[in-house]
Amino acid sequence: MPIAGNKYTEDDVKTLVRQTNRWLLRLHKNSLQEVVDFDILAVFIMQEMDDDLHIRKLVDMLIHTFFESGKPQTTRQNQLLEAALVVQKKIQMYDDKIKSQPTLEKPYCLRYPTLEDVRAQSKLLEKQCWVLDDSRMVVLLDENDICVGIGLPPLPKSGGNPVHTPHDKKSAGMLDKKVQCTTKSIKTWLLQGYGSTWQEEENILHLPNPLRECQNTDDSDAIVKLRNEMTFYSKLSLVINTAFLPLSTKVAQEAVDYLKKQGSDRLQENLDLEKNEIVASRTVSVNTQVHTHRDRNNAFLFDSVYFFGNHLGGEFLLPSLGVAYPGLHGYSFHGPFRILYHGVAKFYFDQALEAPPQRFSVAMWSRESSFSAIARYSAYHEKDKEVSFFGSINSP
């Protein structure tokens, strides 16, 4: 029988992770690797610096400032320098070969040398995206063989039905214990807490809430329920980051561990409840058409988006890459949404559908400023210690 996430023991969590790993390994053996026309490092440099400057100019500026004249002072500067060195090598190889091979195709960064060019190409491809294979795991690689996204088909259904314990605010608890009576006798027909209507009408009893009610009780209940229902998906997101971005995941985990020691009591308690501490933010979109955008405030990790519902269509668009991944119930996509432009194609519902039309997605992400703020705080308060939260955007 399925159990709620808040009832998972440490052994339950370990079992869940083992099952997730086995499932991913089976998928990976039969996975499809697609090389897309993209250069994530070059686009990263453009997005973090200037929309109009040529990539050659941006690379030269970064190497001169942080490699020849000085050194990076922040995580982002370190990542930009690493990216610039790779892009410089790519451009240099092209410059050397073009002399003897006049027909050699330019690399992505020279065909679209500014961010404006990248945006224009993404807009052009948005309505031409071809849908990837929906039957197996898809791993997308850019022209440098760097992973830029992973698409996963639905997890096979397991047996058993989920058990929910509904809560009714009207179940006051103490009021049901009071024996109701008239001036002459006890109302025996109300001894069970309700009258004789049970003979004609079905009464559904709910458990009481012994905690004090507040204005945001409904929101708090929904957040807790979502966190518990998404336990598997939280672990899946963590496993994918660990597998594809091991260095960045390690750095992010060290930052969160520091936060758990130094943060507020409430923050420490909330983090202890999370099944994926490094990608702990969630956004739920219900029957909403999400337009193409990029999440420029996200951290340099793989974000995740999961799709649920009884809808049709709604493919997950990746116009920067020229592809789309199925967005039907159970499918998910994982990638650096800070860099990749993404959106959702139009979704619709079968006219013969009898159930209420539902289409919702759950996005899991983390805010970049959280990690950078931890680095600044630790550097300020622990001057005598060597504390570094440098992560690499080019993790293996």
The rounded radius of gyration (Å) of the Cα atoms in the chain is: 26
Q: What pLDDT is attached to residue 369?
A: 80
Per-residue pLDDT tens over the stretch 214-270: 666 665 666 666 666 788 899 999 999 999 999 999 989 988 898 888 888 888 888
Domain co-membership, 156 together with 255: yes
Q: Is residue 165 part of a domain?
A: no
Q: Is residue 285 part of a domain?
A: yes
Query: How many structural domains comprise the chain?
Result: 2
- Considering 99, 121, 143, which residue would you say is the last residue of a domain? 121
Domain co-membership, 145 together with 229: yes
Q: Is residue 388 part of a domain?
A: no
Distance CA 301, CA 292 (A): 20
Average pLDDT, the chain: 84
CATH code, domain carrying 277: 3.60.130
Per-residue pLDDT tens over the stretch 150-191: 999 998 876 555 444 455 544 544 445 577 777 778 877 666
Q: What pLDDT is attached to residue 324?
A: 97
Q: Which residues contact 202 (CB under 8 A, 6 or more apart)?
A: none
- Considering 121, 147, 181, which residue would you say is the last residue of a domain? 121
Q: Is residue 263 part of a domain?
A: yes
Over 70: is that where the pLDDT of 12 sits?
A: yes
Domain co-membership, 117 together with 228: no
Distance CA 62, CA 337 (A): 24
Domain co-membership, 21 together with 114: no
Domain co-membership, 52 together with 29: no
Choose between 343 and 181: higher pLDDT: 343
Q: Is residue 230 part of a domain?
A: yes
Q: Is residue 227 part of a domain?
A: yes
Q: Is residue 386 part of a domain?
A: no
Domain co-membership, 300 together with 370: yes
Domain co-membership, 62 together with 155: no
Q: Is residue 208 part of a domain?
A: no
Domain co-membership, 223 together with 108: no
**Boundaries of domain holding 262:** 5-34+130-160+216-381
Mean pLDDT of all residues in 184-204:
64
Say if CB 79 and CB 393 are below 8 A apart.
Answer: yes
Q: Give the number of other Cβ atoms within 10 Å of residue 369's Cβ.
A: 11
Q: Which two tokens stand for residue 219?
A: 């929101």
Q: What pLDDT is attached to residue 149?
A: 97
CA dihedral 214, 217, 218, 222 (to 10 degrees): 170
Domain co-membership, 339 together with 300: yes
Over 80: is that where the pLDDT of 375 sits?
A: no
Domain co-membership, 66 together with 149: no
Domain co-membership, 320 together with 287: yes
pTM over 0.85: no
Domain co-membership, 325 together with 313: yes
Widest distance between CA atoms in the chain = 110
DSSP 30-75: T-EEEE-S--HHHHHHHHHS-SSS-HHHHHHHHHIIIIIS----SH
